[in-house]
Structure 1
Amino acid sequence: MIRYLFLLVGSCCALITLPGTIELFVLTIAGMLPRRRTILVPGSNYRLAVIVPAHNEELHIARCIESLTRADRSGIDASFTVIADNCDDSTAATASRSGARVIVRENPLDRGKGYALDYAFRTMASEGWNAFAVVDADSEVAPNFMTVLVSALRTGASAVQCRYVVRNAHESSRVRLMKVANAAFNVLRPRGRERCGLSAGIYGNGFALSADTLSAVPYLASSLVEDLEYHLALVDAGKRVRFLDTTSVYGDMPAAGAGVKTQRTRWEGGRFRMIREKTPRLIRRIFRGRFDVLEPCLDLLLFPLAFHVALLLIAAATPFWPMRALALAGLATVVMHLAAAIAVTGGGWQDVAALLGAPFYIVWKILLIPRLARSANAKSAWTRTERTAERKIL
């Protein structure tokens, strides 16, 4: 009896992970292909509004604005606007001193990044901007950030997403491991989608939308993963997000403490909620002939890598050899995926060594499941992530 139960569980794990394994395999192969050559188109007379959503970011907002100010704006009429949302610190004053325009929003009921962005977009909609870019308050941008974004938008892109990479990988082995995971999620996969002509996705930081796109698809995304929610709305409307592999935003990741749990439970709990809410509708659309939503559906069905690997390990232990073969093929795909992510982002031996901590990370993630379940049912709200530098200051 126990053997048959184990066989059933293992087989279920193998089949549940199969869509994700297919997704990983295809995007890994495509992501390793050389990127297509692009020609930079000057941004003469192009009006770009850069929006910086911020909730209690007084320690980082000045660095972000300074980074934007230093970036190349040749031929671009750019403005930097901070949407200070439900702040109870000096974020607004600090941003203003740094040279940014500040919009203050106070709404204790509708709290969250999605609400803040929608408010900023609607407030500035009548000001004649050609496009809007979004940069997180704890980030810095590459010098060519605006010129590359504007070039793509001027040549017809509806929406664009650049590389979103970890800025502080040197702080700990955990952050180094997160850097590798982010390289897979935020660089290799969208790079593969771009190579296949698919919509690359939106990752909450370093993306831009044309004014026409925002008019056609308003930013009515208020979940904990509002970027994923909005991307699904774009795909549903027939829009494609282009991936810009030649520029980046650099964001801080928490190295230790409560900030790590806060960030993980928010992101992944919100993603599980999207799986529950959006997958049935996507499947119905596929059966009705909307094959453009097939890849976004496969992406949703791919669990976060830690859970994906945990399920594959269970399946690999099943006594039924076809399921075991599927699991082993899935595990080999994950190894190939991570190796490719390190390669395309120029990583080195430190990134490879960080993978030795992956088993402990998987166990830690499994222990977070109760918190993830609560987060998957939570309403959107600003749950600010504590960074390592702040813990040192405090």
Structure 2
Amino acid sequence: MSLLWMLLTLLLAAATLPGTLYLAALTLAGLRRRGSLAGVRPLDGRVAIVVPAHNESAGITRTLHNLLALARADGACEVCVVADNCSDDTAGIARQLGARVLERHDDQRRGKGYALDFAFTALAAEGFAAYVVIDADTVAEQNLLPALRQHLGAGARAVQTRYRVLDPDDTPRTRLAELALMAFNVLRPRGRHALGWSAGILGNGFALSAETLQRVPYRATSVVEDLEYHLRLIEVGIRVHFADETTVRGAMPGGGAGAAKQRARWEGGRLRMLMQHGPGLLRQALSGQARLLEPLLDLLLLPLAYHAFLLLVLLALPLPAARALGGAGLLVLVLHVLAAARVGGLGLGQLLHTLLQVPRYLVWKLWMLRRTVRNASTDAAWVRTDRDHPPS
């Protein structure tokens, strides 16, 4: 029996130890203060805000009012909505509000990646210096364009902003999603940037220079097209910078089928990227390209709910080494969550209230595991996730 416990300990250690060490590094680095870009000359030239939209008529009005105001304040920015395979009045609403509309109809090639590639290709000859991608259910802070122009002017060829939940207090699940995004979309990119790594592309609130798209066209067609494209940027040596001083906030499903569908697609897509890109990243890292080790570690890191579950199993095993690994890993996980709440500005009361949802969430994630694995083996179509929208 002791041999069985040792084997199980080794398996669980192999599954969790790299992630624990990676989280510890990102947590410590993410707490560091950022240097200032004061005095940097912002990027000159025209900027296009590209809004990929698939049947978003219910909620796109608020987004466009926000983005059109930002474009007017900037003075050299145009808002372009990509109405992709829409069967509603998304295109008509966008035109009426004053946005430029690019309509795309292709029943065979469906997905956000195709829509973005279509837009970037259509706009390429118009002399835009950079492109900013904002989802159709998102509101951006007033300093979005000045901050992105400053980072691009400082030499960044790709920039990611903070990406958080639009209405975090709607439901217990959106409050938990807000805490998760503070870790995944704020603390970790801060840590990567501080360590000189690529911050990552999170699918919403990111900017690409025209030169970047010319060198690496947006040929990313999976359900996690942002992660897929980021891996291509890393492979050619382009580092994404993190604009920690500005935020976009996107709508999240409040619960039920919408949340389950979205989570399974995201995590299944990441698993698929690991299967497709992991072996190649490992070979290249071992051959001397050390910069590819970090994206491999990122892909290997399990979602925090599964990571925590395996650590709890380690803690329960009747071996001192297993308990030490499990306890240390859980301590790192707790510090990671606390650090995420700190950099995200979440108060202690809000944090404690949110953490009460964790046990139920862990059970839900275990129930979702089979669906997540199934999503890793299927091609991605752009299926809009149901959300609760405010009145337009």
| TM-score, length-scaled by structure 2 | 0.96
Matches within 5 A, 1:329-348: 329-348=328-347
Structure 2 vs 1, CA of residues 45 and 238 (structure 1 numbering), >3 Å: closer, same or farther?
closer
Aligned to 1:380: 380
Residues 1:18 and 2:17 are matched in the alignment: yes
Contact 1:49 1:132 in 2 (8 A): yes
What does residue 229 of structure 1 align with? 228
Matching residue's letter, 1:224? V
Secondary structure of 1:361's aligned partner: helix
- The equivalent of 1:354 in structure 2 is 354
Q: Identity across aligned pairs (percent)?
A: 48
- The one-letter code sitting in structure 1 at the alignment partner of 2:126 is E
Higher mean alpha-carbon deviation, 8-17 vs 254-263, is at: 8-17
State the Cα distance separating 1:373 from its structure 2 match.
Answer: 1.5
**2:75 & 2:162 partners in 1: Cα distance?**
21
- Paired residue type of 1:102: V
Query: Residues 163 and 186 of structure 1 are in contact (CA less than 8 Å); yes or no, is this contact kept in structure 2?
Result: yes
Moved more, 48-57 or 353-362: 353-362
1:111 paired with 2:116, answer no
Q: Tell whether the 8 Å contact from 1:134 to 1:205 is kept in structure 2 after alignment.
A: yes
Which amino acid in the other structure matches residue 373 of structure 1?
V
Deviations 1:100-140 (A, max 9, x none): 10011111111100111011111111111101110000000
What is the alpha-carbon distance in structure 2 between the residues aligned to residue 78 and residue 29 of structure 1? 37
Distance 1:388 1:75 in 2: 30
Alignment correspondent of 2:99 = 100
Task: For residue 208 of structure 1, give the secondary structure of its aligned residue in structure 2.
Answer: strand
Counterpart residue number, 1:364: 364
Report how far residue 5 of structure 1 moved: 3.4
Distance 1:40 1:303, change over 3 A: farther
User: Could you say what secondary structure the match of 1:388 adopts?
Assistant: coil
Instruction: After TM superposition, list the pairs within 5 Å mapping 1:72-111 onto structure 2.
Output: 76-111=75-110
In the TM superposition, 1:137-152 aligns within 5 A as 137-152=136-151
Structure 1 residue 304 displacement after superposition: 0.7
Q: How does 1:182-331 map to 2 (within 5 A)?
A: 182-331=181-330
The residue identity in structure 2 corresponding to 1:249 is V
- Aligned pair in 2 of structure 1 residues 167, 341: CA closer, same or farther (>3 Å)? same
Alpha carbons of structure 1 residues 288 and 53: separation in structure 2 relative to 1, 3 Å: same
**Paired letter, 2:371:** R
Between the aligned partners of 1:338 and 1:344, the Cα distance in structure 2 is: 10
Written as runs of structure 1 = structure 2, the 5 A alignment for 1:17-56 is: 17-39=16-38, 41=40, 43=42, 45-56=44-55
Conserved 8 A contact 1:112-1:222: yes
Aligned amino acid, residue 113 of structure 1: K
Amino acid at match of 2:24: F
Stretch of structure 1 that moved more, 352-361 or 176-185? 352-361
Between stretches 50-59 and 374-383, larger displacement belongs to 374-383
Deviation at 1:257, TM superposition (A): 2.3
Cα separation, 2, equivalents of 1:278 and 1:342: 31
8 Å contact kept, 1:163–1:248: yes
Report the RMSD for the aligned CA atoms in angstroms.
Answer: 1.7
Give the SS at the match of 2:384: coil
Q: CA 1:354–1:86 in 2, change beyond 3 Å: closer, same or farther?
A: same
Structure 1 residue 314 displacement after superposition: 1.2
Evaluate the alpha carbon distance shift between residue 159 and residue 297 of structure 1 in structure 2; reply closer, same or farther with a 3 A threshold. Answer: same
- CA-CA distance at 1:328 after TM superposition: 1.1
1:352 partner letter: L
The residue type paired with residue 27 of structure 1 is L
Q: CA deviation at 1:352?
A: 2.7
AA of the residue aligned to 1:301? L
> Which consecutive residues of structure 1, in runs of 5 or more, have no partner in the other structure?
none
| Cα distance, 1:111–1:104 mapped onto 2, change above 3 Å | same
Structure 2 segments unaligned to the other structure (5+ residues): none
SS of aligned partner of 1:57:
coil
Tell me the amino acid that sits aligned with residue 336 of structure 2: H
AA aligned opposite 2:222 = S
| Cα drift, residue 313 of structure 1 | 1.0
Once residues 75 and 176 of structure 1 are traced to their aligned partners in structure 2, the CA distance between those partners, rounded to angstroms, is 33
Of 44-53 and 78-87, deviating more is 44-53
Shift of 1:362: 1.1
Contact 1:46 1:75 in 2 (8 A): no
Q: d(CA) in 1 for partners of 2:75 and 2:329?
A: 46
Shift in Å, 1:77: 1.0
Deviation at 1:73, TM superposition (A): 5.6
Q: TM-score, normalised by structure 1?
A: 0.96
Structure 1 residue 194: Cα displacement = 1.0
How many residues get paired?
391
Distance 1:191 1:347 in 2: 17
Instruction: Confirm or deny: 8 A CA contact 2:82 2:119 kept in the other structure.
Output: yes
| Equivalent position SS for 1:87 | coil
